[in-house]
């Protein structure tokens, strides 16, 4: 088996890997920021770089080096995001209240405070059940 045969076989592996990654993202099976997509693209880049270097196709070598570096940067970004502590993640704030929390002029229902849903009233006009609203922290 010659070096050219090995390079050709690697070229086919790289071409198939690149097409699989593209198809998986296009069909919504993988996300562009997934480790599977980025890893598959880097494997394709390394194998195609090997073929290009073996054949002396230097523009393709440069393009594959750029693709590998972009993939490495994306993998590092994904890994940093996974290591980020949960305390930095947005949380939920509980806002509670009932119709009894506010005074209403006779015959006019008061508008609920901003961000709070109005509580239902019974047929007799008495305050209904309290409510709970979740607001995402900014």
DSSP of 74-92: HHHHHHHHHHS-GGGS--E
> How many domains does the chain fold into?
2
pLDDT at 117: 52
pLDDT at 34 over 70: yes
- Give yes or no: residues 39 and 102 share one domain: no
Percent of the chain with pLDDT over 70: 61
| Spatial distance between the Cα atoms of 12 and 25, rounded to a whole number of angstroms | 20
The more confidently predicted of residues 24 and 88 is 24
Report which DSSP code applies to 65. Answer: H
pTM score, whole prediction: 0.59
- Give yes or no: residues 73 and 17 share one domain: yes
- Give yes or no: residues 96 and 111 share one domain: yes
Assign 3-state DSSP to the chain and report helix, strand, coil percentages, each to 5.
55, 10, 35
- Give yes or no: residues 12 and 49 share one domain: yes
Do the beta carbons of residue 120 and residue 83 sit within 8 Å?
no
The parent domain of residue 114 ranges over 90-138
Cβ atoms within 10 A of the Cβ of 12, count?
11
Percent of the chain with pLDDT over 90: 51
- Give yes or no: residues 94 and 73 share one domain: no
3-state secondary structure of 133: strand
């Amino acid at each position: 088996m010659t070096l050219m045969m090995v390079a050709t076989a690697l070229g086919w592996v790289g071409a198939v890997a690149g097409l699989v990654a593209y198809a998986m993202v296009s069909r919504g099976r993988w996300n562009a920021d997934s480790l599977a997509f980025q890893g598959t693209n880097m494997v394709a880049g390394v194998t195609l770089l090997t073929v290009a270097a073996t054949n002396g196709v230097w523009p393709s070598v440069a393009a594959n080096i750029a693709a590998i570096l972009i993939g490495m940067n994306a993998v590092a970004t994904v890994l940093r995001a996974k290591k980020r502590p949960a305390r930095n993640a947005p949380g939920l704030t509980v806002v509670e209240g009932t119709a009894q929390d506010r005074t209403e002029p006779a015959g006019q229902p008061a508008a609920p405070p901003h961000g709070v849903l109005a509580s239902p009233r019974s047929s007799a006009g008495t305050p209904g059940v309290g409510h709970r609203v979740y607001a995402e922290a900014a």
